[in-house]
Amino acid sequence: MSLREIFEQTASEQEKVKQYDLYGVQVNVTPGEKEFVENLFNSLASIPTGRQALEDMKKYKVGFYLETALGSSGGYFSPSQNRIVMAKSLGMDFMESALVHEARHLLQNNSGRAEIEEQHLDYASRLMVNRATEADAQTQAIKACKEWEARGHDAPMKRFEKHYKPLVDCFEKTGNLSDAFKGWYHDEKICASYERGYDVEPAIFKLFYETDSRPFVSLKPEDIAHFCGAERVENFASFLNTPQARQVHLATKEIIDITNLVATSHGASRDTSLNNVPLRELKGNAAAQMYATKNIEETRKALSQCRPIDPRKKDILKSVSRAIDAIEKINAAEIKGTHDQDAEKTLKNEKKLILAQSKRLYQPATVKKILDNKRSR
């Protein structure tokens, strides 16, 4: 074997993912990545909150992985695969608090969240769960950052503040974890991002999917308190019922409502919880204005990726597109402190048209014809 072949074989072996046991956690990385993960886990083991994260990872037998394709998303916990996946490109100072965050999601999932999410939750309940679990995970992350800072390791706190300044500002006023939790809801960027990723984009991509015919389940804050760190949040239940905790962008609310309209045309229940979801005010709020615009752009992008063959579905998507145009005009008027009555009328009419089109698409005769065609193939 030539030196080149030996080198290539050695390099290939270095790139293969192997399994290691670190602090009782199943770690799946390449030999070249092992030292980085050892340093990461050692850093967590140096503080109480980090040690708790490692203990939870060990207790619930989660797999740990590094991934290059995550980009700037940081990482995620996958309940279905029981694994935590982190983006190795973001550096140690980011990953330290991010791993504490994801380990908190692991704990939430094993403390009742999984059972809650098996139910057919209405939108207001799903919104409450998603936001409260994220706020709780970030509260755990800043708790860890302050512990590292107290030990003279301030890099995680500096990186955390760079990305999540509104939360940090709320926390620094009192040093109270309750204010860190509530501070999550003051971050316009984060709230808009989660609305887009958790609500709008999935709704668009599932627009014509088979719907869940079960009746909706509505939750109260008390129903999720046991897995959202309610014990460290002052007036947890009353806060989650405030407009600050429940408000969404107009585009989010309307896309969710449009999706529900389509679903009702083939057997789903009407989600009445949307009636009580308040809208995020744009006038005088530059950050909210910026992310309202960005959400419109991203919604159009998601819509452009839907390419149904059925011309009736294409017609529905055209109506959705016109509804988005109307929402953009309504937002522009609100920023100025006025109303665009023509745009509001257009939005209402397009939603009526979407419902009518959906009923024609899913009328019994049409569905029977589709099924018969499938059977004859």
> What is the per-residue pLDDT across 55-76, written as a single tens digit (0 to 9) for each?
999 999 999 999 876 655 789 9
pLDDT of residue 267: 84
Average pLDDT over residues 180-191: 97
Q: Render pLDDT for 286-312 as a digit per residue (tens, 0 to 9).
A: 999 999 999 999 999 999 999 999 999
Are 252 and 288 a contacting pair, CB within 8 Å? no
Question: Is residue 188 assigned to a domain?
Answer: yes
For residues 127 and 76, state if they share a domain: no
Residue 8: pLDDT band with limits 50, 70, 90: very low
Are 305 and 209 in the same domain? Answer: yes
Mean pLDDT of the region 4-12: 45
In a domain, 169, yes or no: no
Q: How confident is the model at residue 372 (pLDDT cuts 50, 70, 90)?
A: very low
76 lies in a domain? yes
User: CA–CA distance from 180 to each of 104, 236, 308 (Å)?
Assistant: 15, 13, 44
Note whether 207 and 331 are same-domain residues: yes
Q: Are residues 44 and 131 in the same domain?
A: no
Question: Which positions ≥6 away from 299 have C-beta within 8 Å?
Answer: 196, 200, 201, 204, 251, 255, 324
Decide the pairing of beta strands 25-29 and 63-67: parallel
Same structural domain, 198 and 320: yes
Instruction: Band the pLDDT of 377: cuts 50, 70, 90.
Output: very low
Predicted local confidence at residue 6, as pLDDT: 41
Q: Is residue 371 part of a domain?
A: no
- Both 312 and 223 in a single domain? yes
Of 187-196, 295-304, 358-367, which range is least confident? 358-367
Q: Which amino acid is at 106?
A: L
Any domain includes 248: yes
Q: Which runs of E-coded beta strand occur in the chain?
A: 18-22, 25-29, 63-67, 75-78, 83-87
Domain assignment present for 243: yes
Domain that holds residue 49: 14-116
Q: Could you give the percent of the chain with pLDDT greater than 90? A: 85
| Residues 68 and 126 reside in one and the same domain | no
With respect to residue 77, please indicate whether it lies within any of the assigned structural domains: yes
203 and 346 co-located in one domain: yes
Q: Is the pLDDT of residue 54 over 90?
A: yes
Q: 284 and 197: one domain? A: yes
Q: Which CATH number goes with the domain that contains 76? A: 3.30.2010
Residue 80 has pLDDT above 60, yes or no: yes
Asked if residue 116 has pLDDT above 60, the reply is yes
One domain for residues 248 and 354: yes
Q: What is the C-alpha end-to-end distance of the chain, expressed in Å?
A: 56
pLDDT grade for 373, boundaries at 50, 70 and 90: very low
What does the pLDDT average to over 155-173? Answer: 97
Verify that 95 and 233 share a domain, yes or no.
Answer: no
The number of distinct structural domains making up the chain is: 2
| Distance set, CA 95 to CA 57, 58, 151 (Å) | 15, 18, 18
* Same domain as 101, residue 220: no
Q: Is residue 7 part of a domain?
A: no
Residue 177 belongs to what H/E stretch?
helix 177-183
% of the chain with per-residue pLDDT over 70: 92
